[in-house]
Structure 1
Amino acid sequence: MRAGSPRLLREINDRAAIEILLDNGPMTRSELETAIGLSKPATAQLLARLEEDDVVRREGLRGGARGPRAQLWAVNGALCFVAAVDLTAESVDIAIADISGRVLAEHRAVMPAGPTEAVLAAFDTALTAAVGLAGLPEGTLRHVVVGSPGAVDRATGQLGFAPHLPGWEGFDLPGRLSELLNATVTVENDVNLVALEEMISGKAVDVRDMVLVWPADAVGSAVVVNRVLLRGATGGAGEIDWMRVPDLAKAGSAVGRDGIRFGDLVSSDSIVSLAAAHGVHAETGIAAVRAAVTGGDPGIAFLTDLARRIATGVANLVSVLDPELVLLSGETAETGGELLCELVQRELHELVIPKTPVELGSVTGNAVRAGALHSAYAIAREEIFGLPAAEFMKPPGSRAHR
């Protein structure tokens, strides 16, 4: 055996144990022994070694009706703390977590509508408040992942495709946030993070190529090719809000052959207008879709027209990418449910040759923040433990300030 091999094997086994504990939570020595495939003495030595380095800690006991209670072991979450942020024009939704995956605090705060110094100061205040709620001192975050509308250009760090975020454009966004927070920062497109979460725990766990579409105001999409998010040269891959499409709806005013921005075609105001043309009256697009789902024939006619609009935009993506799956996500899709998905699929199949299935995204709650949190875990665990992140988890780039 070559010199140094025993040490290398110990390092491999240590990383395997850490990864298993991170994936499964607290485990007994016997459970860990079985999971790794080591002998009882080797597992005991491994745990002693990791405990001495403060990588793992004893965490209570597990006992049954009979026999002695067994010691539980867990990764020391206090080794590293991360933050995940869902940023919109109106608010920030923040989660603070330790490296073991335990969420320590959640905090939501209202954001001002620019200028830059005002939004950055409000962002800093909100994150400081969240860190305080977690019982942590300032400056303890190692990494922050921010989910934002638009896209960050990896070369310049500037946010583009986001005119609805006044105050956030025109400067190196990850760089400024890193200086402000004294932590490394990744800024990722919000819909990309939803797609990431679908690949981790949703409909796309076993899917290699897919398109996720968020049909709503500031419509967006995420493109996944061979389990990797496609970001494009300037980060703008999937920004279909700006794509021009014709209006194939049967009711309402026709857009004409020159088309219109896809984002305008499926905006809340456009959906309200289309619904009214079918006799379905509501103040918002979401309310119109909600009323249509149980609104009988007029509701179905309106949803079919809305499905034509959505399918027209999706058809461009399917024609170029030929994905295995199209996922519809966001509040409009969730409100329309399986019925809207079925209608979009039917209309899509009239427009393109591939008979790509269209399904409703399955990740519930704040999927943007959940995806940001998983991304933050992946970055921190690679840095702390040397655990390589899956290809689709790797961030588009970050700025360090240490």
Structure 2
Amino acid sequence: MANLRGGDLSRLRQLNSLTAIRALRGAGPLTLSALAERTGLSRPSMKEVADELMELGWVEEVPPSPGTMGRPARRYRFRADSGCLVGIDIGGHNVRAALSDLDGEILAETRQPVLPGAPLEERLAAIDRAVSGCLALSGRSAADLWTVAVGTTGVLTPEGRVTFSAAIPAWTGLDLAGKLREMFSCQVLIENDSRLAALAEARRGAAQGARNVVFLHVGRRMGTGLIIDGKVHRGFGAAAGEIVMLPEARWYDAPEHLNGCEVVPEGTAPEDAAGYTLAAARDGDPVALAAVDRYVDDLAVGTAAMVLVLDPQMVVLGGGFSRSADVLLAPLRERLERACMRMPEVRASTLGDECVVMGAIDYAADHLSRELFTSDAPLAPMR
């Protein structure tokens, strides 16, 4: 707790209130005694804090369970259902959205298909439909939204402008943050999709507990997200991890080894071609296995470079191709063992296609914590 001088009672109350909210967020209802134990406050002091937080609207007392005998202990909970967060994953072929409470507990999810070459207004309309679908499924309205966090493919500036996007040509040069703030009246946050995917794996997925992680976002397009010392690493100009832009890494065209394999039947949709090759490799087809080897050769170049620079605890294989981790992980490990001084643990994503939208929710929840629940400003009444 911060050093306090005599007379700093209002500051002390502020810190005690924030400590109580942190203890309640993400936890089930807690009794006054349990809350006092978690915060290190005396029970009388905790009662004063709880009463103040209830008056401000952040906390409420939970009614006793039906059938409870005797005088039940008072229980309190953070009012996470008083507002909503939305996470959006804007990809080349789909727009996914998820809606959560203020603690990041998912309440609804939707998906809207969209073509890579779709006009800008059509993609924006798909975003609107995806969010509206979540609101309808959860019985909420746009007035309940506190924060919308968006993950998208492409190179972004810190201000939310897309400087380059190969997957969504209409994105390049677009002030995406500005467009989305015209659509939503709440706070809008923009981040690269691979970074949000890395955040989700660190919080909810394969990399839980790891402090230094290289996340490989592999699919029709290649990307990376970096977790350094437990935090998403953006870099000075929000361009960290864009190794796909280095021609020598051979990442930009690497998926073509799978998309253009001879085993893919003529007329197969482009989005299904790589999956067909990976399935054939799983069945032992020698032509498909050779294509997978060429793909992993290229994937390992950039991955080894990042491992040698960052010395991560873990490498996580995620994105669309992670569904074929049984085909890709063993050859990737073998190549990394050849190139790396210290071999990190290599795992497959446990979140799959949900990684970006889950990361967007976590990003929004983190922003809420920084904005409202820090010691820099007095705790205001819940809006």
Q: TM-score, normalised by structure 2?
A: 0.83
Count, aligned residues:
367
Q: 1:371 maps to what in 2? A: 359
1:384 and 2:346 matched: no
Contact 1:62–1:71, Cα closer than 8 Å, also in 2: no
Partner SS, residue 182 of structure 1: coil
Structure 1 residues 111 and 284: alpha-carbon distance in aligned structure 2, compared to 1, 3 A threshold: closer
Match of 2:218 among 202, 215, 234: 215
C-alpha offsets along residues 320-340 of structure 1, whole Å, 9 cap, x if unaligned? 333332221123233233x53
Structure 2 unaligned spans of 5+? 377-383
Aligned CA-pair RMSD: 3.1
The counterpart of 1:293, out of the listed 256, 271, 282, is: 282
- Is 2:311 aligned against 1:322? yes
Q: CA deviation at 1:365?
A: 5.6
Is the CA contact 1:99–1:381 (under 8 Å) kept in the aligned structure 2? no
2:243 matched to 1:240? yes
* 196 and 8 in structure 1: CA distance in 2 versus 1, 3 angstrom threshold: same
Which residue matches 2:61? 58
Question: For residues 110 and 365 of structure 1, what CA distance do their matches in structure 2 show?
Answer: 14
**Residue 264 of structure 1 aligns to a residue in which SS?**
coil
Partner of 1:185: 188
Kept in 1: contact 2:156–2:238 (CA 8 A): yes
For residue 343 of structure 1, what is the aligned residue in structure 2? 331
1:113-158: CA deviation from partner (whole Å, max 9, x where unpaired): 4332333344234424433443333344221100111121125x32
Q: For residues 88 and 387 of structure 1, do their structure 2 counterparts lie closer, same or farther at Cα, with a shift above 3 Å needed? A: farther
Deviation at 1:32, TM superposition (A): 1.4
1:353 to 330, 341, 365: 341
Secondary structure (helix, strand or coil) at the match of 1:265 reads coil
Contact 1:111 1:122 in 2 (8 A): yes
The residue aligned with 1:395 is none
Q: Which residue in 2 is equivalent to 1:36?
A: 39
C-alpha separation in 2, matches of 1:66 and 1:172 = 60
The structure-2 alpha-carbon separation of the partners of 1:387 and 1:166, relative to structure 1 and needing over 3 Å to count, comes to: farther
Report deviation, 1:219: 0.8
In structure 2, do the counterparts of structure 1 residues 272 and 236 end up closer, same or farther at CA, with 3 Å as the change threshold?
same
Instruction: Judge conservation of contact 2:155–2:192 (CA < 8 Å) in 1.
Output: yes
Gaps of 5+ in 1: 247-260, 389-402
Q: 1:143 maps to which residue?
A: 147
Q: Judging changes above 3 Å, is the alpha-carbon distance between structure 1 residues 298 and 120 closer, same or farther for their aligned structure 2 residues?
A: closer
Identity %: 28
Which of the residues 255, 258, 265 maps onto 2:254?
265
Q: Is the 8 A contact 2:320 2:353 kept in 1?
A: no
1:115 to 88, 113, 119: 119
Post-superposition offset of 1:376: 0.6
What is the CA–CA distance in structure 2 between the aligned matches of 1:176 and 1:330, rounded to whole Å? 26
